[in-house]
């Protein structure tokens, strides 16, 4: 493999780790803990005994360290868990693997093939890991010069083609439906089923049950004192009141929210951001990665890809809008227009494939999209906003 093709993996160099010393300590501890020889031996056993060579380069992303394995002209990715495994991480990794296999089985979405894995540290490698196919492209975030050139924006001349491809992917993903809400599990007979969600429990037979569980466990991550320091001025008391009341208000309205209270429920990729979409030089999509947290959800929680995310007007500060109700930031106006365009692309794909138009209806409904955004950002990252305003349409 040439260094040019290696560059598409965007290995983090010494300069990055000099600027992020905690990340360097985390990487170094993982490199020391893992038995890399045992990993190569395991990989060879999964590839007809072919000799395996581990490249020196590594990179980190999220909670993983990534290295490349080569078997002559073939390359695999070794994605190793940075920290020691726990019961929670074991469950998350198992659910991610199951979701990837479900998507590969029921759609044409390009997902890396999995060749082997261990979901906890109780093995000769001393770490949880996945061995999977290497997709020789760049993430849409890193392509075309990377973030330094385009600040994470898809080049304007390539957006329509890119959006249409992602719309096709999301329609296919929405066609994968299971009878309950929860994580993907695999039965002994190799069939797929639904299991509990981290922190919430389940699985849930109805959307109402899910909303009740979410409201019971919801916890805003920022303290009142820190919020007051962050805001300093403005309607801080109104914001705090809305944050505190939102879970209970959602609980009280739980049975009134969903028009599709019973299953089947769609599979959803919660981090469909352009850093997790692999493209070639023309921004043709080569695959989707990082399926951690993928699960079935109520229809009201489905959103467009995160690169089209906007704050719902009801949750936003009124000061951000002019007298005509239009956002003062031209970038937000552009993104809102692109969201509407994307939803239209989704509808066109649904019609082309002869599918119901449930997904496009959800994406085109501003009230539902407001709720989806609020639930997503309440506990991570804990975005400040007028949460209770989101629920007003459901009170009627």
Total domains present in the chain:
2
Helix 236-257 to helix 366-379 angle, to the nearest 10 degrees? 120
**What's the DSSP call for residue 154?**
P
Q: Of the residues 85, 105, 134, which one is the last residue of a structural domain? A: 134
d(CA 369, CA 343): 12
- Exposure of 325 by Cβ count < 10 A (0-12 exposed, 13-18 middle, 19+ buried)? exposed
348 and 380 belong to one structural domain: yes
Asked, for residue 41, whether it belongs to a domain, the answer is yes
Rounded alpha-carbon distances, angstroms, from residue 32 to 37, 122, 216? 12, 16, 41
Within this chain, do residues 342 and 270 fall inside the same structural domain, yes or no? yes
Any idea what the CATH number is for the domain that residue 68 is in? 3.30.200.20
Give pLDDT, residue 8: 52
Both 45 and 179 in one domain: the answer is no
The verdict on pTM exceeding 0.75 is yes
Residue 180: inside a domain, yes or no?
A: yes
Report whether 49 contacts 34 (CB < 8 A): no
Whether 163 is covered by a domain: the verdict is: yes
Same domain, 78 and 184: no
Assess whether 63 and 103 both reside in one domain.
Answer: yes
Residue 160 is assigned to a structural domain of this protein: yes
Do 118 and 197 lie in one domain? The reply is no
Task: Mark which of 84, 105, 134 sits at the end of a domain.
Answer: 134
Provide the residue count of the chain: 396
- Structural domain containing residue 53: 3-134
- 140 within a domain of the structure (yes/no): no
Asked if residue 110 and residue 174 are part of one domain, the reply reads no
CATH code assigned at 254: 3.90.1200
In a domain, 268, yes or no: yes
- Residue 93 and residue 156 share a domain: no
Does residue 250 share a domain with residue 120?
Answer: no
CA gap 313, 234 in Å, rounded: 17
Domain-ending residue, one of 71, 100, 134: 134
**Which one, of 199, 206, 172, 194, lies nearest residue 95 by Cα?**
194
Cis previous bond, 264, omega within 30: yes
191 CB burial (10 A radius; 0-12, 13-18, 19+) = exposed
| Same domain, residue pair 95 and 234 | no
State residue 7's pLDDT score: 42
Q: What is the pLDDT along the chain (396 residues), one digit of tens a residue?
A: 333 344 456 677 778 888 888 888 999 999 999 999 999 999 999 999 999 999 988 888 889 999 999 999 999 999 999 999 999 999 999 999 999 999 999 999 999 999 999 999 999 999 999 999 999 888 888 887 777 777 778 889 999 999 999 999 999 999 999 999 999 999 999 999 999 999 999 999 999 999 999 999 999 999 999 999 999 888 999 999 999 999 999 999 999 999 999 999 999 999 999 889 999 988 999 999 999 999 999 999 999 999 999 999 999 999 999 999 999 999 999 999 999 999 999 999 999 999 999 999 999 999 999 999 999 999 999 999 999 999 999 997
Six-digit token string for 359: 């997904």
202 and 115 fall within a common domain: no
Residues 257 and 387 in one domain: yes
Task: Check residue 25 and give its pLDDT.
Answer: 92
**Do the domain assignments include residue 142?**
no
How many whole angstroms separate alpha carbon 295 and alpha carbon 198? 11
């Amino acid at each position: 493999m040439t260094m040019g093709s290696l560059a598409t993996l965007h290995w983090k160099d010494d300069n990055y780790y000099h600027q992020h010393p905690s990340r360097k300590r985390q990487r170094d501890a993982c490199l020391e803990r893992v038995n890399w020889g045992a990993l190569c031996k395991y990989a060879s056993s999964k590839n007809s005994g072919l000799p395996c060579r581990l490249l020196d380069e590594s990179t980190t992303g999220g909670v993983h360290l990534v290295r490349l394995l080569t078997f002559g002209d073939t390359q695999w990715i070794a994605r190793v868990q940075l920290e020691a495994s726990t019961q929670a991480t074991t469950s998350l990794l198992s659910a991610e693997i199951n979701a990837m296999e479900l998507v590969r089985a029921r759609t044409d979405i390009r997902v890396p093939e999995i060749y082997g894995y261990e979901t906890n540290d109780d093995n000769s490698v001393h770490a949880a890991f996945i061995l999977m196919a290497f997709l020789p492209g760049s993430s849409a975030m890193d392509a075309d010069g990377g973030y330094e050139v385009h600040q994470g924006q898809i080049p304007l001349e390539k957006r329509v083609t890119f959006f249409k491809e992602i719309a096709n992917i999301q329609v296919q993903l929405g066609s994968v439906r299971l009878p309950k809400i929860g994580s993907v599990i695999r039965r002994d007979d190799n069939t797929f089923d639904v299991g509990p969600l981290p922190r919430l429990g389940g699985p849930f037979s109805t959307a109402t049950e899910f909303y009740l569980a979410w409201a019971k466990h919801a916890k805003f991550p920022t303290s009142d004192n820190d919020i007051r320091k962050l805001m300093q001025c403005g309607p801080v008391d109104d914001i705090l009141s809305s944050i505190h009341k939102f879970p209970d208000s959602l609980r009280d309205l739980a049975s009134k929210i969903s028009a599709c209270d019973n299953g089947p429920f769609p599979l959803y990729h919660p981090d469909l951001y352009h850093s997790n979409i692999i493209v070639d030089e023309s921004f043709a999509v080569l695959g989707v990665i990082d399926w951690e947290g993928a699960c079935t959800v109520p229809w009201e929680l489905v959103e467009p890809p995160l690169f089209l995310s906007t704050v719902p007007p009801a949750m936003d500060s009124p000061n951000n809008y002019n007298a005509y109700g239009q956002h003062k930031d031209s970038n937000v106006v552009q993104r809102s227009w692109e969201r509407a365009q994307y939803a239209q692309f989704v509808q066109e794909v649904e019609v082309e494939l002869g599918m119901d138009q449930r997904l496009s209806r959800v994406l085109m409904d501003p009230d539902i999209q407001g709720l989806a955004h609020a639930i997503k950002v309440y506990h991570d990252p804990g975005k400040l906003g007028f949460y209770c305003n989101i629920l007003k349409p459901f009170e009627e």
